[in-house]
Amino acid sequence: MKLADAFSFGIQALTGARSRTWLMLLAMAIGVASVIILTALGEGARRYVANEFSSLGSHLIIVIPGKIETTGDSPPLIGGTARDLTLDDALALERSSAIQLIAPLALGAAPISYRQLERDITVMGSTAALMPVRNLELARGKFLPEADPTRESAITVIGDKLKKELFGNKRALGEWIRIHDRRFRVIGILKPLGESLGMDIGDIAVIPVASAQSLFNTEGLFRILVQAEGRESVPRAKQAVIDIIKKRHDNEEDITVITQDALLSTFDGIFRSLTYTVAGIASISLAVAGILIMNVMLVAVSQRTAEIGLIKAIGGKREEIMRLFLIEAGLLSAAGAAIGIIIAYSSIWVMGQLYPEFPLIIPLWSLASALGISLITGLLFGILPARRAARLDPIVALAGR
């Protein structure tokens, strides 16, 4: 028997039993589609987080006051005496050759008002360096000018959302707004960037760091953002930060230094394993599809007993009958997988239209493994029915006993 003939015989048998065939195709398609869609979602989540981090700037180091023990099983400890990070600490970091920019960050919540409108927002005290370090962009006006960071100045750059809420469509540049009990002149408006590390920059006001410190009456900084000279100098810069601050803090290492790479690889690892887990769970549906194929094929074998007996009587060999049924199972799973891939691609396309900012990409490995697993399950679960068919006694099969 020629292979091409065996295939067309299989196709005829499958198209001859429509509802049975559709049932199995559906099961296989759902299995394959869910594997592909779920891995695309997992992979998308991973890329989304990675993008978020890289929008922070590619060689960022974050310095946090207090030593946070991230290892160990007890709740995070703040060891030592945890001295404040001061502006002087921040400025001292500029000495290191591995460090390109520093942006001190003082943070607080304050009411902001313009005429009768008042809102509670986050006020960020920083320097001109914040703009390159956090990859901020301006919609209008200017950012904080390069100036002595220890000098106060009554100027502010506000987020676009805040601008709309306070000024509507009116011009905001040059207007005076009130933060707490002080007046600041608006010199710039930020471009919307969306969420960046959990902070909505549409809803903030940036003022010079010295002004923020006096506004909130504190010497301490919330963070120091450090940009290393380059990606390779991140470890050196991190060490420099630790050394310099330690020296200034009576030889006590009372800061936590987070590099973006470390954060990124942690999240990357988490999302990668999440994707694998989800893909694994989805493959269970493939196995279920395989079992369904086996069941339906077994029913097909018993329904087609007479046919199998006849093929044997007119000279069909055992292995030819085996091959016929395996080809049927293989065709089913291949066609099911193809339908599943079409379903997956169209759902992902629809999702992409609905959430354009979420990067949905079907990884090639998930496509390949979904196809592979569906073919393997189809054939594996096809073996039992095929063997049963091949072993039928032709006389018994023809007699329908």
Residues 170-209 interacting with other proteins (rule: CB under 8 A): none
Output 1 or 361, the one with its CB closest to other proteins: 1
Task: Say which residue the tokens 């049975």 belong to.
Answer: 20
Instruction: Decide if residue 139 touches other proteins (CB under 8 A).
Output: no
Least distance (Å) from other proteins to the CB of residue 4? 9
Task: Tokens 């039992």: give the residue.
Answer: 384
When the beta carbons of 185 and 318 are compared against other proteins, the nearer one is 318
CB of 8 to other proteins, least distance (A): 9
Using CB under 8 A, pick the residue from 80, 108, 141, 316 that binds other proteins: 316
**Beta-carbon contacts of residue 394 (< 8 Å; ≥ 6 apart):** 308, 309, 312, 313
Asked if 267 is part of the footprint of other proteins (rule: CB under 8 A), the reply reads no
Cβ closest to other proteins, residue 12 vs residue 169: 12
Measured from the CB of residue 6, what is the shortest distance to other proteins in angstroms?
Answer: 9
Indicate the residue type of 332. L
Q: What is the pairing mode between strands 117-126 and 204-208?
A: parallel
Residues sharing a CB contact under 8 Å with residue 102, sequence separation 6 or more, in sequence order: 90, 91, 93, 94, 129, 133, 224, 225, 226, 227
Our finding on whether 19 is near other proteins (CB under 8 A) is no
Question: Which residues in the 320-339 window bind other proteins by CB under 8 A?
Answer: 320
When the beta carbons of 160 and 328 are compared against other proteins, the nearer one is 328
Q: Cα 342 from chain centroid?
A: 23
Nearest distance from C-beta of residue 21 to other proteins, angstroms: 12
Q: Does 12 bind other proteins (CB under 8 A)?
A: yes
Query: Closest approach of Cβ 315 to other proteins, in Å?
Result: 2
Give Cα separations from 218 to 180, 213, 215 (angstroms): 15, 5, 8
Q: Would you give the binding string for other proteins spanning residues 366-395, x where CB under 8 A is met?
A: ----------------------------xx
Taking the CA of residue 330 as centre, how many other CA atoms within 13 Å lie in the half-sphere pointing to its CB? 13
Query: According to CB under 8 A, which one of 223, 312, 322, 378 is a site residue for other proteins?
Result: 312
Q: Does 317 bind other proteins (CB under 8 A)?
A: yes
Among 318, 368, 372, 376, binds other proteins (CB under 8 A): 318
CB proximity list for 161: less than 8 A, separation 6 or greater: 192, 200, 202, 203
Among 73, 314, 364, 401, which residue interacts with other proteins (rule: CB under 8 A)? Answer: 314
Of 5 and 148, nearer to other proteins (C-beta) is: 5
User: What is the Cα–Cα distance from 193 to 202, expressed in whole angstroms?
Assistant: 8
Q: Which is nearer to other proteins, 12 or 74 (CB)?
A: 12
Residue 75's CB is within 10 A of a number of other CB atoms, namely: 6
Q: Which phi and psi angles does 61 have, rounded to 5°?
A: -125, 130
CB half-sphere exposure, 212, CA atoms < 13 A: 27
* Span interacting with other proteins, options 10-18, 86-94, 175-183, 328-336, rule CB under 8 A: 10-18
By CB under 8 A, tell whether 7 contacts other proteins.
Answer: no
Only segment of 54-62, 280-288, 292-300, 314-322 that touches other proteins (CB under 8 A): 314-322
Tell the smallest beta-carbon distance from residue 329 to other proteins (Å): 18
Binding mask 279-308 for other proteins (x = CB under 8 A): ---------------------------xx-
List contacts with other proteins (CB under 8 A). 1-2, 5, 9, 12-13, 16-17, 306-307, 309-320, 394-395, 398
